[in-house]
Amino acid sequence: MSEVAVQAGLLDRALRRVSSLWRDMASVVGANESSPDLTARLRDALDGRGGEVSARNRAASLAEAYRTLNADGRTDFLRALAAFDSNPGAVARAMEAVAAASDAAERAVATARLRRALEPPRIRLLTAFAAIPDGVKFLVDMRADLMARIDGDKLLLALETDLKALLASWFDVSFLELRRIDWHSPANLLEKLVQYEAVHRIRHWRDLKNRLESDRRCYAFFHPRMPEEPLIFVEVALTKGMSPSVQRLLDLKAPVLDPASADTAVFYSINNCQRGLDGISFGNFLIKRVVGLLSDEFRNIKTFCTLSPIPGFRRWLESLLTGDEAPLTEEERKALHAIAALLPETVPDDAQEETILRALIARRGVLRVEEAQRALDPILTRLCARYLAKEENPSRPGRARDPVAHFHLSNGARIERLNWRADTSENGHRQSVGLMVNYLYDPDRIEKNHELYMGEGKRAVSNALRKLGKAA
Amino acid sequence: MSEVAVQAGLLDRALRRVSSLWRDMASVVGANESSPDLTARLRDALDGRGGEVSARNRAASLAEAYRTLNADGRTDFLRALAAFDSNPGAVARAMEAVAAASDAAERAVATARLRRALEPPRIRLLTAFAAIPDGVKFLVDMRADLMARIDGDKLLLALETDLKALLASWFDVSFLELRRIDWHSPANLLEKLVQYEAVHRIRHWRDLKNRLESDRRCYAFFHPRMPEEPLIFVEVALTKGMSPSVQRLLDLKAPVLDPASADTAVFYSINNCQRGLDGISFGNFLIKRVVGLLSDEFRNIKTFCTLSPIPGFRRWLESLLTGDEAPLTEEERKALHAIAALLPETVPDDAQEETILRALIARRGVLRVEEAQRALDPILTRLCARYLAKEENPSRPGRARDPVAHFHLSNGARIERLNWRADTSENGHRQSVGLMVNYLYDPDRIEKNHELYMGEGKRAVSNALRKLGKAA
Amino acid sequence: MSEVAVQAGLLDRALRRVSSLWRDMASVVGANESSPDLTARLRDALDGRGGEVSARNRAASLAEAYRTLNADGRTDFLRALAAFDSNPGAVARAMEAVAAASDAAERAVATARLRRALEPPRIRLLTAFAAIPDGVKFLVDMRADLMARIDGDKLLLALETDLKALLASWFDVSFLELRRIDWHSPANLLEKLVQYEAVHRIRHWRDLKNRLESDRRCYAFFHPRMPEEPLIFVEVALTKGMSPSVQRLLDLKAPVLDPASADTAVFYSINNCQRGLDGISFGNFLIKRVVGLLSDEFRNIKTFCTLSPIPGFRRWLESLLTGDEAPLTEEERKALHAIAALLPETVPDDAQEETILRALIARRGVLRVEEAQRALDPILTRLCARYLAKEENPSRPGRARDPVAHFHLSNGARIERLNWRADTSENGHRQSVGLMVNYLYDPDRIEKNHELYMGEGKRAVSNALRKLGKAA
Amino acid sequence: MSEVAVQAGLLDRALRRVSSLWRDMASVVGANESSPDLTARLRDALDGRGGEVSARNRAASLAEAYRTLNADGRTDFLRALAAFDSNPGAVARAMEAVAAASDAAERAVATARLRRALEPPRIRLLTAFAAIPDGVKFLVDMRADLMARIDGDKLLLALETDLKALLASWFDVSFLELRRIDWHSPANLLEKLVQYEAVHRIRHWRDLKNRLESDRRCYAFFHPRMPEEPLIFVEVALTKGMSPSVQRLLDLKAPVLDPASADTAVFYSINNCQRGLDGISFGNFLIKRVVGLLSDEFRNIKTFCTLSPIPGFRRWLESLLTGDEAPLTEEERKALHAIAALLPETVPDDAQEETILRALIARRGVLRVEEAQRALDPILTRLCARYLAKEENPSRPGRARDPVAHFHLSNGARIERLNWRADTSENGHRQSVGLMVNYLYDPDRIEKNHELYMGEGKRAVSNALRKLGKAA
């Protein structure tokens, strides 16, 4: 009999006892703003009456009840829970002892006591909630509920802070399991990939199967207590050369490459799966571990890179083109007029060049015209190189403006190559006029790149791209 | 490739880089009292240089180095580690903010910040240590190292407090797996039972196999990151009636009972396995889960009890017999003289009765004499009933004097039956003149028993035993 | 390192040695009718040169080569293989010894020798083929190849007979594993269900998922050497009452039933998956084992039945209606005219009643007209009851004419209930004008039903259906 | 619910029905020589009454009954079973058809029919027995029972021949799993190693653990239906250089070698575990697969050899020394007199040299005397080289006289080196006066060695050993 089944058994008995009470409560809490009963029951779950096992069972039955609550009921529940803060008097006394400590050793002990005094009782409740079947997933989802409700509510914020700390301890990367996902994986797990893939939507099971072929790899982190729930996953294509187009990668009709002949691993999609784990990052570790695994398995693979979206480029470009800077070169201006003359119904030839450019990129159809493609390639590529390599986050100077660029740069990657017409989907057009970028993970330079970026704000950029960014 | 293997790979590379440095360090730290290098390296492992992955690898290589240190080296390492306490200035500022908070919400936020300010950097290091292969076991053993070194050292005590809190969070019972151990279990796991069994030593593999027969059960808690290390285990015999003798339970020649015909489950040995988890209790949960499992599997089993040692009885008895109380009845006094007359070489007939009794129990051989057995049975059983049912812990009034009795009473068990000649081993004689006791776990009364004991200091005692305790 | 990997390794080395030769051979054998080389190589794989391990490796490399052959090449290969028959001289001598045996004991020994003499060398080759990775599946598929080629070729027939006997020995039901398949099963296995389901096609993954919900069960037999290939599988719905419609069972929008509240298990699809195992039956065992499993798991389920197609009904009905018998009652004739008057464009009112009936069932659309449904229900149900309960297989008197009926009757099931409009798909219409039947498996009557049917040709039929069949 | 459990369930029900009958039968069959009932019941299990599932259940209950029989009951059972031979009339008719066949194709079909006619019904019963839990092990053990009873009984011999053929088909090496056994293996499996190891007895669990250390390997073949029963296992030591002494290999105090630094794998013990599989050989395959596995895992291991006993040497030597040949050289004779002079109480100096030699080797103690060791080494080593390299099996000319030598030579190994004082145990002394031999498995020469030995009777012998054998 499994652990989970045992817990289920214990809880089941506990639940049967309280179920009639709870059915009432669930409706009451769902309907009314006040919940004195709920507070009483939370207190009940905290006290040791009947022993620790019984108290935990009471807490577990509270967690089960939470699942049945409607949105308002949950808000009430979370507020009632948040109210179980540390005892102010005890905290005050412990703070005094810290202040009064005369040497480091005394201070160390007083500090430890203060930490204990500060530990709010609600944390014990949260911990007890973990005991129900799927209890860890329950807490992850509860944090998602909380985040959606904070909105300035400091009590909820404090509870959320506690829960985040708890989850961060449990989900420390050293507790996670890296598992490969392939076409032999359980269907219910694969279904979750379909559900969680947000970068390049999985359209149907054939699309999914194509992403799990022998020239592909998919890896995810899992927590031992959530064995069927990926936390984050990465999709990798094994290719010859850095891939310049995501549509080509996802083409169902493309032949499958013998992976032994691949020289490059392209990380083309990374997805976080659990909203309730926001801010507890694994992406960094995932990429580096997968690089390790692949270089062990395939001695011929020398290049590890991404094929990444540039989500902020289009918006930045629009603001640049409506601003005061006059960012285009003479040559570019001429080329834009030429293309405008070719497509009179799209844009008047006599418009200002910035206006022409905005009009051209406004319509995805224009980019199917070969001449437009040719003309816009150097212009947009140059501006995008500048965006990635130079533009800074207005509120965090020294950091790249593009969030994906910032993620990879802070992981020690290098901005390697821009690819025109790399994502011709509507989404790709909306984000970056179809441009995508390869970030290069060179194991020998990751640390140095990271240091330069985080320490001095210097970005690792390939020579080609650096030149492009400087042009004009 | 497994998670652990991946980590091993990453670490291996990291370690190779630092190995030459470390070999030096290990010898230095092992030899000298000062360790500026070590502190520098700990700081190194904390800072984010080269990114979080790199920093963690540095921490991991420190953990690997710790393993190679001798006792003095470890003490130095632990002191250096303990010194990474929270920042006093930051703590002071955060305490002021808490003190200045004007309402509950503000206070909640200020408190959360104070908690963060109080979090000592050494906790991040400890967490990073968990990433090495067998990292969790490493930390458990490190705590055992720490406990052996505290001895008034407040700095080490503070570190130990942190580590205990960390382990308590990770080893919360909701993360543990309950697994059955039987003769199909891996030999390396069974070998650990042999090593950890301290209540009734396992003499050889036949003894072990006998304890895992079809009329026996053995269950243990495991942590997912220590899959080959039991945390605590319990040995159970399925019997007809409550077992009155541990030697009979462990008799290799006793026939194996068809477990379907058993009506009683006797928990005859519970052992904690990890010194580094002292104070993080699971015994309570283990017994109740196993009761649940067994009652599901065997509908005929109605009685769940222990066959427990009484480790404090003999010592208490000695002090009673040398004290002022004159604890024996007239009848008992006569019986003692009669037996003394029978064994003149052991004890002079004209001695005081208390002296006679002490002399008789001083020699295990005496108890092989049938007349002595018969005469001492009612005397010692009566005194032991009094010891268990009435005697209090001098430093914790209301609690049972016997530590094992206190454990089971606080779990809600009842003191059910005393068994004379139940443990005839030397150890059994030394602890309790061979007496053992059955504690009864009646699922319907556990909570109430617990409440009465913990709340009002009232012990649950069977009628028979209560009468015995009152006699005289 | 797994068994399979080891074999792969051994073979790999063997194959590399012969690969250049074989590439030649494959093209030669694929192109020419004669294959002296092939025969030489088969002989090579049989002789013991270099030891048994080497000989087997040679055989294995032949099997690998077979995989690369085109259709003609395979025919040549199979003929060359079939030619390795037993030695006529040795057989003749052994037959003489049997004939000359003077008593039972002598005869027993002579017979055993004759059996050995009769064992054709090709069987040793087939056995050796099993050693390649997926070798058992290879032989199963080779038998499918053979069956498609026999067509009067007695040599191939003899080889096929041997191979069938070999497979029958290996695939004896006592070696098979019964496994449940659900939404947690590997996607590559589920994909095979989609591929092999022939009774009620699985349209897409949502359809598949719906068939694996908590109120469904799917079980399959597997062979240990073909762990990812189902041999036969059955789909079961847990319902309240016997299900009267397959469309309702397969409805994606139908609510999921709490399986604990089901009282009936409906076996609604059974599919053999491996053509190469034709004639080696498991269906019988599968149904009875699943009945056993379900009655253990769900104490409330009392009724085990099928919802089965009636594949021969429509064809039989057509021949009946064009024959001389005048099978309709007066009442039915009237009803047919009434419905013809209602649908003048479909059928002239003045036609003969048999013609009207044929015209009405010729168009699936007619059955959407409520009046037609109502009118045809009693007529077709009565005729179908007769078909199932009375009509005999012309070439095997005493056996039911309908093949599915024969299968279930010989398993001991009872013809229980006819369901009008039970399969409204085009396929259902084509086979049986939408009728389906429930066969009832009553564990207490299975043996008796089987005896009566197999021994005396008496079919178990429910009272209701028996009456229906007798009406008119 | 597992397959086995399902079968158990089905059988259980069947058994309960027949149990009262069977209890009677078991006692009757166990007591009486005649068993008309038993024959009737076997017939019962063969006929199809109630369907195949029922018939198989009847067979299975017979198998269960067999388990409860005493030795005489089993003999009766086996005789009754053996009597279910093929039908003589049907065989006669089928033989006639074969004789009458006019061409190869007709003959092929007639032959196939004859094979079917020859198939005795008892084989169907044996197959059905396999369905009980542990049914395959049951049949293996039944063959062991049979072999112990044949003793000229032709009926039992015929049954045994059938059963052997059945087992040979099921236990074909392509169905076996090669698994490594180590200290993580289940204790009940390791216990079987202790039980089955016959070459060098395992004395206790420490001895066992020592044989599973990191510089040791143990591999066994398993059958999927007997997952806890090894069929054959081999123990390997990873060493530097060919090991010259088994006591040194088994020394508990010897340091554990880092396996990465080993250059040699020494197969020092191979044991068949199942008497009922005698004559169905795997040893050949096991050694070669393990060579493959080890050479994949350890690139540094270049030498694969055995350290083997020489079980026939001592007996052959005794007969040589009492025969007419005068096998000793002048020098050897002198050395024997010298040593006799040294040990007057063991052997008179004036005895004949052959007598002296016999007297010296008769006492194991003599070999502890250093001078005796030195003197006997060249004499016995030379004679043993002759024994291994030249002496032939009197009843099978061309084959080595020593059975172990024959086994390894027929596998393609080379007789490499003799080791004096290699097995100083009593058993080693009794078999071969303590001598052991290394057979070398050189992957590049295995096939050629095999061919020369099997084809021409030429043995592969190292130069050193060949010279030794020629000396004198």
User: Does C408 participate in catalysis according to the annotation?
Assistant: yes
Q: Identify the closest residue of chain C to D286 by CA–CA distance.
A: C53
Question: Mutate which of D12, D184, D212, D216 to test chain B, going by most B C-beta atoms within 10 A?
Answer: D184
Whether C13 shows a pLDDT value over 80: the answer reads no
pLDDT score of B427: 93
Per the CB < 8 Å rule, is C114 touching D118?
Answer: yes
D102 within some domain: no
User: For A213-235, what is each residue's pLDDT tens digit?
Assistant: 999 999 999 999 999 999 999 99
In a domain, C398, yes or no: yes
The answer to whether residue C204 sits within a structural domain is yes
Task: Average the pLDDT over C173-187 and give the result.
Answer: 95
Residue B190 contacts D where some CB pair is shorter than 8 Å: yes
pLDDT value of residue A35: 58
> Does A292 contact B at CB distance below 8 Å?
yes
Residues B457 and B342 in one domain: yes
For the cut 50, the answer to whether the pLDDT of residue D21 exceeds it is: no
Greatest pairwise CA separation for chain A in angstroms: 85
User: Is residue A285 domain-shared with residue A145, that is, in the same domain?
Assistant: no
Q: Is residue D227 within 8 angstroms of chain B, CB to CB?
A: no
pLDDT above 60 (res C256): yes
pLDDT score of C24 more than 70: no
3-class DSSP assignment, residue D75: helix
Q: What proportion of chain A, given as a percentage, has pLDDT over 90?
A: 65
Tell me whether residues A185 and C183 touch, CB distance under 8 A: no
pLDDT band of residue C472 (cuts 50, 70, 90) is low
Res. A358: pLDDT tops 90: yes
Nearest to A187 among C187, C204, C228 (CB): C187
pLDDT at C36: 64
Q: Does A161 touch chain B (CB under 8 A)?
A: yes
Find chain C residues with C-beta within 8 A of D106's C-beta.
154
Worst-scoring range by mean pLDDT, A3-7, A255-259, C133-137? A3-7
Q: How confident is the prediction for chain B on average, in pLDDT?
A: 88
| Pair A160, A16 in one domain | yes
Q: What is the pLDDT of residue D94?
A: 92
Q: Report the alpha-carbon distance of residue C145 to residue C67 in Å, rounded.
A: 11
| CA dist., res. B391 & res. B385, Å (int) | 10
Contact B298/D at CB under 8 A:
no
Give the three-state DSSP class for D417: strand
Task: Write the pLDDT tens digit of every residue in A443-467.
Answer: 999 989 999 998 899 999 999 999 9
pLDDT at A471: 64
Chains A & B: contacts with CB separation below 8 Å: 195
Integer CA distances (angstroms), C334 to C175, C322, C325, in order: 59, 19, 18
**Residue C7 in this model has a pLDDT that exceeds 50:** no
Is B288 close to A53, i.e. CB distance below 8 A? yes
Contact status of A296 with chain B (Cβ, < 8 Å):
yes
**Which CATH number goes with the domain that contains A58?**
1.20.140.90
Say whether residue C272 is in contact with chain D using an 8 A CB cutoff: no
Q: Which residue has the higher pLDDT, D47 or C17?
A: D47
Question: Is residue D145 in a domain?
Answer: yes
Contact between chains at D183 and B186 (C-beta distance less than 8 A)? yes
Residue A472: the pLDDT is 58
| C-alpha distance from B135 to closest chain A C-alpha (Å) | 8
Beta bridge partners of C178: C221
Domain housing B74 = 3-85+120-170
**Three state DSSP letters for chain A:** CCHHHHHHHHHHHHHHHHHHHHHHHHHHHHHCCCCHHHHHHHHHHHCCCCCHHHHHHHHHHHHHHHHHCCHHHHHHHHHHHHCCCCCHHHHHHHHHHHHHCCCHHHHHHHHHHHHHHHCCHHHHHHHHHCCCCCHHHHHHHHHHHHHCCCCCCHHHHHHHHHHHHHHHHHCCHHHCEEEECCCCCEHHHHHHHHHHCCCCCCCCHHHHHHCCCCCEEEEEEEECCECCCCCEEEEEEEECCCCCCHHHHHCCCCCCCCHHHCCEEEEEEEEECCHHHCCCCCHHHHHHHHHHHHHHHCCCCCEEEECECCCCHHHHHHHHHCCCCCCCCHHHHHHHHHHHHHCCCCCCCCCCHHHHHHHHHHCHHHHHCHHHHHHHHHHHHHHHHHHHHCCEECCEEEEECCHHHHHHHHCCCEEEEEECCCCCCHHHHHHHCCCEEEEECCCCCHHHHHHHHHHHCCCCECHHHHHHHHCC
- Residues with Cβ within 8 Å of B201's Cβ and at least 6 positions away in sequence, in order, are none
Count of pairs with CB atoms under 8 A, one residue in B, one in D: 34
Q: List, for residues B67-89, the tens digit of each pLDDT value.
A: 889 999 999 999 999 988 888 88
Paired strand residues for C369: none
At C118 the three-state DSSP class reads: helix
| pLDDT at residue B18 tops 90 | no
Confidence of residue A289 (pLDDT cuts 50, 70, 90): very high
Alpha-carbon span C44 to C128, nearest angstrom: 13
Of A266, A283, A306, the residue at which a domain comes to its end is A306
Residue D229 pLDDT > 60: yes
Tell me which chain C residues have a C-beta less than 8 angstroms from the C-beta of D410: 51
> A426-441: per-residue pLDDT in tens?
999 999 999 999 999 9
Asked if B184 is an interface residue toward chain D (Cβ–Cβ < 8 A), one would say yes
In tens, the pLDDT along D22-79 reads 333 333 333 333 456 888 888 887 777 777 888 888 888 889 889 889 999 999 999 9
- The partner residue sitting opposite A111, judged by closest CB among B85, B224, B451, is B85
Please state the pTM of the whole predicted model: 0.86
Query: By the CB < 8 Å criterion, does B186 face chain D?
Result: yes
Higher pLDDT, C336 or B102: C336
pLDDT of residue B15: 34
C288 shares contact with chain A (CB less than 8 Å): no
> What is the CATH classification number for the domain harbouring A255?
3.40.630.180
Structural domain contains residue D105: no
pLDDT at D331 over 90: yes
Those residues whose C-beta lies under 8 Å from the C-beta of residue C334, and which sit 6 or more positions away, are: none
Q: For the CA atoms of D341, D345, D347, D348, what is the dihedral angle to 10 degrees?
A: 70
Q: Do chains A and B touch (3 or more CB pairs under 8 A)?
A: yes
Q: How confident is the model at residue C414 (pLDDT cuts 50, 70, 90)?
A: very high
Assign A368 a pLDDT band (cuts: 50, 70, 90).
confident
Once rounded to an integer, what is the mean pLDDT over residues A91-119?
88
Is the same domain home to D15 and D52? Answer: yes
**Which chains lie within 8 Å of chain A at 3 or more CB pairs, if any?**
B, C
Q: How far apart are CA D55 and CA D45, in angstroms?
A: 5
Question: Which residues, in sequence order, are bridge partners of residue B419?
Answer: B436
Q: Are residues D346 and D424 in the same domain?
A: yes
The predicted structure's pLDDT at residue A347: 81
Q: What's the gap in Å between the CA of C441 and the closest CA on chain A?
A: 32
Output the pLDDT for position C28. 34
Residues of B tagged active-site: 308, 408
Reply yes or no on whether the pLDDT at D210 is more than 90: yes
- What is the reported pLDDT for D345? 83
* Domain-located, residue B93: no
Cβ–Cβ of B187/D188 closer than 8 Å? Answer: no
Q: Is residue B225 in a domain? A: yes
Please indicate whether, in this complex, the C-beta atoms of C296 and D454 are within 8 angstroms of each other. no
At residue D102, does pLDDT exceed 90?
A: no
Q: Is the pLDDT of residue D202 over 50?
A: yes
**Same structural domain, B290 and B341:** no
- Same domain for D261 and D328: no
For B354-373, the pLDDT digits (tens) are: 999 999 999 888 888 899 99
A282: CB partners within 8 A, 6+ apart = A171, A173, A176, A221, A231, A232
D183 touches chain B (CB under 8 A): yes
Which one of D106, D169, D297 has the shortest CB-CB distance to C154? D106
pLDDT at res. A24: 34
Choosing from C61, C200, C243, C408, which is the catalytic residue?
A: C408
Determine the Cα–Cα distance for residues D171 and D224; give it in Å rounded to an integer.
10
- A188 and C186 in contact by Cβ < 8 A? no
Name the band, by pLDDT with cuts 50, 70 and 90, for residue A402. very high
Residue B341 has pLDDT above 80, yes or no: yes
> Which positions of D are annotated as active-site residues?
308, 408
pLDDT for res C20: 30
What pLDDT, on the 0 to 100 scale, is given for residue B3? 41
* Helix residue ranges, H only, D32-118: 36-46, 52-68, 71-82, 88-100, 104-118
State pLDDT tens for residues B23-42.
333 333 333 334 568 888 88
Residues of A in contact with C228 (CB under 8 A): 184
Indicate if C179 and C154 belong to the same structural domain.
Answer: no
Give the C-alpha separation, D264 to D260, whole Å. 11
Q: What is the CATH number of the domain that holds C415?
A: 3.40.630.150
Looking at the structure, tell me whether residues A151 and A7 fall in a common domain: yes
Q: Locate the DSSP E strands across C351-466.
A: 392-393, 396-400, 414-419, 436-440
Please check whether residues A339 and A426 belong to one and the same domain: yes
Q: For the sheet with D414-419, list strands across it.
A: D177-180, D216-222, D232-239, D264-272, D303-306, D436-440, D414-419
Last residue of a domain, one of A150, A170, A190: A170
| Domain total in chain A | 3
Residue range A304-314, pLDDT digits in tens: 999 999 999 99
Task: Report the Cα D136 to chain-centroid distance in Å.
Answer: 19
The strand pairing partners of D414, in sequence order, are D440
For residue B176, list chain A residues with Cβ-Cβ distance below 8 A: 3
Chains contacting chain B through 3 or more C-beta pairs under 8 A? A, D
For C372-402, the pLDDT digits (tens) are 999 999 999 999 999 999 999 999 999 999 9
| D418 and D459 part of one domain | yes
Q: What is the pLDDT of residue C471?
A: 64
Could C450 and D1 be called an inter-chain contact, meaning their C-beta atoms sit closer than 8 Å? Answer: no
For residue B294, is pLDDT > 80? yes
Question: Is the Cβ pair B85, A104 closer than 8 Å?
Answer: yes
B186 neighbourhood in chain D, CB within 8 Å: 183-187
Provide, rounded to the nearest whole percent, the portion of chain D with pLDDT above 70.
92
Instruction: Flag whether D165 is in a domain.
Output: yes
Indicate which residue of A200, A223, A408, A429 is catalytic.
A408
* Residue that finishes a domain, picked among B259, B289, B306: B306
Can you tell me the mean pLDDT for A362-387? 92
Q: Which range in B128-137, C230-239, D163-172 is most confidently predicted, on average pLDDT?
A: C230-239
- Cβ distance A187 to C186 less than 8 Å, yes or no, reads yes
Distances from the Cα of D36 to the Cαs of D39, D76, D87, in angstroms? Answer: 5, 10, 20
Based on the fold, state whether residues D203 and D331 are members of the same structural domain.
Answer: no
For B274-352, where are the E strands, in sequence order?
303-306
- The reported pLDDT for the residue numbered A60 is 85
Which carries the bigger pLDDT value, residue D380 or residue C13?
A: D380
